[in-house]
Structure 1
């Protein structure tokens, strides 16, 4: 089994409480997702704020404008430090996305996205990952990094 990993880290000029409030509101996902994805939240369970056990359903077009239904479950959440969402149904065979928020001594926030994912089995899946999926995910997460830095301000990391 070929499991792939995507990792992003950025430091934001905001408080951990403001970051948590923004990143745990499902409707804010659309604000940090490129328009080509046609990201549309269909539903989410429970209160508007994120919580363990929450199910969120989306319609997305991540590859070549092909629409997919995507269902994720928030499997873990520890306010205001991290949450994990896992795909239950969607374009990947496996999707496990960890979101970490850590307050720095100077009052900024380090945000880390760590995604483990798997595409189709065997040679075809490995080929698709190298030719398409990795570049598309990089494009999506690079966009997110830019938009989030514009929204919150980018802070220099010290250390």
Structure 2
């Protein structure tokens, strides 16, 4: 199964970064380039354990919906969101937050994903999504990080 990790330094303490990453409106602002918006579940405010949110966005010229649930949560160290329904056969995103020793945070995103359609999905994963997805997460993280500038 494809997976990748993105590490981002953020100039704010872990508790603030953790809260921002669970804020639905902050997430949609960070994904403005893909016209992402929350359309069902918890559509405003901060998510917590067990909450679901359905995001709708445009990628590759198509509109997609992904319903995710917060399946694990230990404030302010980490939380996990997993797809309940959507375009992937599997999507699991672990968000980790560690103090950097200077008042900031090392934010680590570890993502496992798999496209449907067996061999065709594996080809799409290796040729397209293995490049596209890390870039998308880096763009999101840069946007979130700018909140604290």
Give the TM-score normalised by the residue count of structure 2. 0.89
CA displacement, residues 76-99 of structure 1 (integer Å, 9 cap, x when unaligned): 111111110000011100000000
**In the alignment, which residue of structure 2 is the partner of 1:129?**
125
Aligned partner of 2:20 among 14, 19, 22: 22
- 1:138 Cα deviation (Å)? 2.6
1:46–1:54: 8 Å Cα contact kept in structure 2? Answer: no
Give the Cα separation in 1 of the matches to 2:31 and 2:43: 23
SS at match of 1:152: coil
1:116 equivalenced with 2:112 (yes/no): yes
Aligned residue runs from structure 1 range 1-159, under 5 A: 3-35=1-33, 37-45=34-42, 48-62=45-59, 64-153=60-149
Unaligned runs of 5+ residues in structure 2 are none
User: Do the aligned residues in 2 keep the contact of 1:97 with 1:115 (CA within 8 Å)?
Assistant: yes
Structure 1 residues 39-77: Cα deviation after superposition (integer angstroms, max 9, x where no partner): 010133498322111010111222x22112210000111
CA distance in 2, matches of 1:107, 1:77: 22
Runs of 4+ residues deviating >6 angstroms: none
TM-aligned CA deviation for residue 15 of structure 1? 1.3
Aligned residues: 149
Q: Which moved more, 1:78-87 or 1:142-151?
A: 142-151
Aligned CA RMSD, in angstroms, stands at: 1.9
Q: Which runs of 5+ in 1 are unaligned?
A: 154-159
SS in 2 for 1:69: strand
